Amino acid sequence: MASFAKIGLNSKVIEVLSVNNEVLKDANGVEQENLGIDFLTKLTGWAIWKQTSYNNNIRKNYAGVGMTYDEDRDAFIPKKPFNSWVLNETTCQWEAPIVKPDDGQDYIWNETIQNWELVE
């Protein structure tokens, strides 16, 4: 199955639908995104549709409702979890300004002190 995100106001993802991969194949059997968009447009009416992928090989991240589509980066970006976090331009994922400890213990981000706290 191929997945497509419907883009609404402010470039927000408002819906994600799946279509059979056969819908995307052209006369040569090659998958084409525009064929999926044409199918969804006929099915649902006009909208802005962008293909997305579970394995993140299309548009950086699998689209989900509430995420943003960034046209300049051609990527789906999740909601920013904390004001201090910065966008990783390669992955289009938000990252804490301090690397999370990798010692096998559980931590949560504390925005007030802008650091990781051990979960007791």
List all residues 6 or more positions away from 46 whose beta carbon is below 8 Å from its beta carbon: none
pLDDT at 57: 85
The structure tokens listed for 85 are 């976090």
**Rounded Cα gap, residues 34 and 24, in angstroms:** 8
pLDDT at 86: 98
Q: Which of 21, 24, 5 is nearest to 13 (CA)?
A: 5
57/107: higher pLDDT: 107
Q: What percent of the chain has pLDDT over 90?
A: 94
pLDDT band at 120 (very low <50, low <70, confident <90, very high): confident
Q: Strands, E, within the chain: which ranges?
A: 2-7, 13-19, 48-52, 68-70, 75-77, 86-88, 93-95, 107-110, 115-118
pLDDT in tens, 22-79: 999 999 999 999 999 999 999 998 999 999 999 888 999 999 999 999 999 999 999 9
pLDDT at 100: 97
pTM of the full structure: 0.88
Q: Which of 65, 115, 62 is nearest to 93 (CA)?
A: 62
Average pLDDT over the chain reads 96
pLDDT at 41: 96
